[in-house]
Amino acid sequence: MAQVSGYPPIIILKDDVDASQGIGQIISNINACEQVVEVLHSTLGPRGMDKLIQGSDGKVTISNDGATILRVLEVVHPAARLLADIAKSQDEEVGDGTTSVVLLAGELLRQAKGFLEDGVHPRVIIYAYREAHRMISERLKQIAVDVSGQLKVLRADPERVSTEEREAARALLQRCAGTALNSKLIAQYREFFAGIAVDAVLALDDDLDLDMIGVKKVNGGSVTDSCLVAGVGFKKTFSYAGFEQQPKKIHQPKILLLNLELELKSEKENAEVRVQSAAAYQQIVDAEWNIIYEKLEKIVATGARVVLSRLAIGDLATQYFADRGVFCAGRVPDADLQRVARAVGARVQTTVHDMRVEEALGTCEWFEERQVGAERFNFFTGCKEARSATILLRGGSEQFLDETERSLHDAIMIVRRTLKYPELVAGGGAVEMELSKFLRERSRHIQGKAQLLLAAYGKALETIPRTLCENAGFDATDLLNKLRAKHATSDENLWFGANLETGEPQDCWQNYVWEPVLIRANAFASATEAACTILSIDETLKTETSDKNDAIR
Reduce the DSSP state of residue 304 to 3 states and report it: coil
Rounded to the nearest integer, the mean pLDDT of the chain is 86
**Mean pLDDT on 270-295:** 78
Residues 6+ apart with CB under 8 A from 245: 319, 322, 323
> Mind telling me the catalytic residues?
65, 98-99, 410
Phi/psi of residue 325, nearest 5 degrees: 70, 35
- H or E element: which one contains 227? strand 227-229
pLDDT over threshold 90, residue 157: no
pLDDT interval class at 254 (50, 70, 90): very high
| Gap between the Cα atoms of 414 and 391, Å rounded | 17
In the chain, CATH 3.50.7.10 sits at 231-386
Q: How far apart are CA 479 and CA 492, in angstroms?
A: 19
CA 429 to chain centre: 23
What pTM was estimated for this model as a whole?
0.83
User: Are the C-beta atoms of 103 and 467 separated by less than 8 Å?
Assistant: yes
Query: Does the pLDDT at position 546 exceed 90?
Result: no
- In the chain, CATH 1.10.560.10 covers 17-146+425-543
> Residue 549: its pLDDT value, please?
45
Q: What CATH number is given for 231-386 in this structure?
A: 3.50.7.10
Interior angle at CA 240, CA 239 and CA 243, nearest 5: 75
- Helices 190-202 and 163-181, interaxial angle, to 10°? 120
Residue 128 and residue 453 in contact, taking contact as beta carbons nearer than 8 Å: yes
pLDDT band at 13 (very low <50, low <70, confident <90, very high): low
- Which pLDDT tens digit goes with each residue over 360-396? 899 999 999 998 888 899 999 988 878 889 999 998 8
Radius of gyration of the chain (CA): 30
Indicate if the pLDDT at residue 303 is higher than 80: yes
Q: What percent of the chain has pLDDT over 90?
A: 42
Whole-number Å distance between alpha carbons of 519 and 91:
10
CATH class of the structural domain 17-146+425-543: mainly alpha
Share of the chain above pLDDT 70, in %: 92
User: How does residue 322 score in pLDDT terms, banded at 50, 70 and 90?
Assistant: very high
pLDDT in the model for residue 9: 60
Give pLDDT tens digits for 48-100. 888 888 877 788 888 888 888 888 888 888 888 999 999 998 888 888 888 99
Strands 60-63 and 51-54: what pairing?
antiparallel
SS3 letters across 95-154? CCCHHHHHHHHHHHHHHHHHHHHCCCCHHHHHHHHHHHHHHHHHHHHHHCEECHHHHHHH
- Give the model's pLDDT for residue 551: 41
pLDDT at 543: 66
Residue 209's nearest CA partner among 419, 497, 479 is 419
Task: Check: CB of residue 292 under 8 Å from CB of residue 300.
Answer: no
